[in-house]
């Protein structure tokens, strides 16, 4: 038998050399995912959105709407998110800056005279805070009775105060982070939308009944007057220092929502000392801060988020309505016991985001010191006791899955 030779190559192409390998290399498959937007383009887009929110606020202010910059920016953000034109959150630097400036604004209202005036209502204030937490837990337990929402998710979603901190600890407490985040920010959005309207209605009703007339907005400070003091440069430098030092201190002390509470505490110390010039944001700067707060809430309501919880939306809205009405009832009791206007008590006890409530209090000329004190106290208490309550109620139950 003749020896078999090596099999001949049957392929039609010769072995590739380096040059042919380069020339015949397969072309890369075109990417089908959404194109990534460069940072300068994204920054320019958000600058336009913020400018649009401010322009909408100017128009709403001209029409006499309550809390015009907050509400207008919230609606602009929600429309853009629902239309799919915006898929990102507010840029982190803008979000951090708005929180720090709101904290500084809150601390500037807590003057010695304001704290002294709030001292007589300390007892009813504490009782109302405890009753608000108990009411939110009771509503959450009712929401979880159907079994479609786990108790940890229901409690963390319904409890008012410290939305960012509550969402952060959801994983640790065996809750559904998506459901908790949606419920928290839906509540914030509802309160941010309804509180200005309610406060405006109550102020107008009190004025029509012969009470104190609502303070007019007046011409307001000029474009170059952006802090409360007469020395604008020194006031701006002081505000920047309070924001930076307060944010750093809040992180180091591990307080809830450090970017808000930290600057508030530093601003409180600066205000009580009386050694620093007026640094509170006013005029254009304050309006921009409120626009950022409104946009941050509005852009969270995307179509994807709403579709993910569409089956749970009706019971969640019902429970939120019960919670808001219950808090309004507590505000009525608080106003009667403490002998304060119902508008102040309502804003102090409403279960909404502290940023939005403060913006409403400033716009409606309410007792901002009282509102800030009550809301801050509740925020601290909620963040401290909510994990303990959630673990107690969970009783080892796994979280209910979030179905689309």
Q: What is the mean pLDDT of residues 5-14?
A: 48
pLDDT computed for residue 48 by the predictor:
92
Distance of CA 21 to CAs 9, 18, 25, 112, 313, Å?
Answer: 19, 5, 6, 79, 58
Distance of CA 377 to CAs 213, 236, 268, 373, 395, Å?
Answer: 29, 28, 14, 6, 28
pLDDT computed for residue 350 by the predictor:
86
pLDDT computed for residue 95 by the predictor:
87
Q: Cα dihedral angle (44, 260, 230, 272), rounded to 10 degrees? A: -170
pLDDT band at 308 (very low <50, low <70, confident <90, very high): confident
Instruction: Pick the range with the lowest mean pLDDT from 189-193, 209-213, 348-352.
Output: 209-213
pLDDT computed for residue 52 by the predictor:
92
pLDDT computed for residue 241 by the predictor:
94
pLDDT computed for residue 23 by the predictor:
44
Residue 222 has pLDDT above 70, yes or no: no
pLDDT computed for residue 32 by the predictor:
44
Residue 153 has pLDDT above 80, yes or no: yes
Residue 91 has pLDDT above 70, yes or no: yes
pLDDT computed for residue 102 by the predictor:
84
The verdict on residue 183 lying in a domain is yes
Q: Encode pLDDT of 240-297 as tens digits.
A: 999 999 999 989 988 767 888 889 889 988 888 877 778 889 889 989 988 998 888 8
DSSP 121: G
Q: What is the mean pLDDT of residues 35-56?
A: 80
Say if CB 289 and CB 70 are below 8 A apart. no
CA 26 – CA 101 distance, rounded (Å): 54
Q: How many helices (H) and strands (E) does the chain have?
A: 17, 0
pLDDT computed for residue 239 by the predictor:
93
CA 141 – CA 165 distance, rounded (Å): 21
pLDDT computed for residue 397 by the predictor:
52
The percentage of residues in the chain with a pLDDT greater than 90, rounded to a whole number, is 12
Instruction: Pick the range with the lowest mean pLDDT from 113-122, 147-156, 312-321, 346-355.
Output: 113-122
CA 269 – CA 246 distance, rounded (Å): 11
The verdict on residue 326 lying in a domain is yes
DSSP 144: G
Residue 399 has pLDDT above 50, yes or no: no
pLDDT computed for residue 219 by the predictor:
46
pLDDT, mean over the chain: 77
Q: What is the mean pLDDT of residues 128-139?
A: 89
pLDDT band at 394 (very low <50, low <70, confident <90, very high): low
The verdict on residue 176 lying in a domain is yes
The verdict on residue 357 lying in a domain is yes
For residue 227, the cross-strand partners are: 281
3-state secondary structure of 67: coil
Phi, psi angle pair for 349, to nearest 5°:
-110, -5
Q: Encode pLDDT of 324-379 as tens digits.
A: 999 999 999 988 988 888 888 888 888 876 777 877 888 778 888 788 778 877 77
The tokens for 2 are 């003749």
Residue 66 has pLDDT above 60, yes or no: yes
Residue 396 has pLDDT above 90, yes or no: no
Say if CB 136 and CB 162 are below 8 A apart. no
- DSSP for 281-292, written as a single string: B-HHHHHHHHHH
pTM: 0.66
Q: Encode pLDDT of 27-36 as tens digits.
A: 444 444 444 5
Higher-confidence residue of 213 and 245: namely: 245
Total domain count, the chain: 1
pLDDT computed for residue 88 by the predictor:
80
CA 363 – CA 361 distance, rounded (Å): 6
Domain that holds residue 134: 98-205+226-276+309-394
């Amino acid at each position: 038998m003749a020896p078999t030779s090596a099999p001949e190559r049957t392929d039609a192409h010769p072995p590739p050399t380096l040059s042919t390998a380069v020339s015949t290399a397969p072309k890369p498959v075109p990417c089908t995912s959404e194109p990534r937007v460069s940072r300068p383009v994204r920054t320019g887009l958000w600058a336009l959105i913020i400018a649009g929110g401010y322009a909408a606020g100017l128009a709403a202010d001209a029409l006499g709407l309550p809390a015009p910059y907050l509400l207008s920016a919230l609606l602009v953000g929600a429309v853009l998110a629902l239309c799919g034109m915006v898929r990102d959150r507010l840029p982190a630097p803008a979000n951090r800056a708005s929180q720090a400036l709101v904290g500084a604004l809150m601390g500037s209202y807590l003057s010695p005279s304001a704290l002294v005036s709030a001292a007589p209502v300390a007892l009813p204030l504490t009782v109302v805070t405890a009753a608000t937490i108990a009411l939110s837990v009771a509503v959450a337990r009712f929401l979880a009775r159907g079994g479609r929402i786990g108790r940890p998710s229901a409690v963390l979603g319904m409890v008012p105060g410290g939305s960012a901190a509550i969402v952060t600890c959801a994983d640790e407490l065996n809750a559904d982070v998506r459901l908790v985040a949606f419920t928290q920010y839906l509540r914030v959005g509802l309160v941010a939308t309804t509180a200005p309207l309610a406060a405006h209605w109550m102020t107008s009703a009190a004025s029509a009944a012969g009470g104190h007339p609502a303070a007019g907005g007046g011409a307001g400070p000029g474009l170059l007057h952006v802090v409360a003091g007469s020395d604008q440069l020194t006031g701006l430098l002081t505000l920047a220092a309070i924001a930076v030092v307060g944010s750093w201190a809040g992180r180091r002390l591990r307080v809830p929502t450090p970017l808000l509470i930290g600057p508030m505490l530093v601003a409180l110390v600066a205000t009580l000392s009386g050694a620093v010039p007026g640094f509170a944001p006013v005029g254009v700067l304050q309006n921009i801060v409120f626009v950022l707060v409104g946009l941050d809430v509005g852009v969270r309501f995307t179509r994807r988020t709403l579709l993910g919880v569409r089956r749970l939306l009706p019971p969640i809205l019902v429970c939120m309505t019960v919670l808001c009405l219950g808090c309004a009832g507590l505000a009525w009791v608080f106003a009667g016991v403490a002998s304060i206007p119902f508008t102040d008590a309502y804003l102090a006890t409403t279960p909404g985001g502290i940023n939005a409530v403060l913006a409403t209090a400033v716009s409606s000329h309410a007792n901002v010191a009282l509102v800030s004190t009550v809301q801050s106290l509740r925020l601290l208490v909620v963040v401290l006791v909510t994990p303990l309550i959630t673990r107690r109620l969970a009783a080892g139950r796994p979280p209910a899955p979030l179905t689309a």
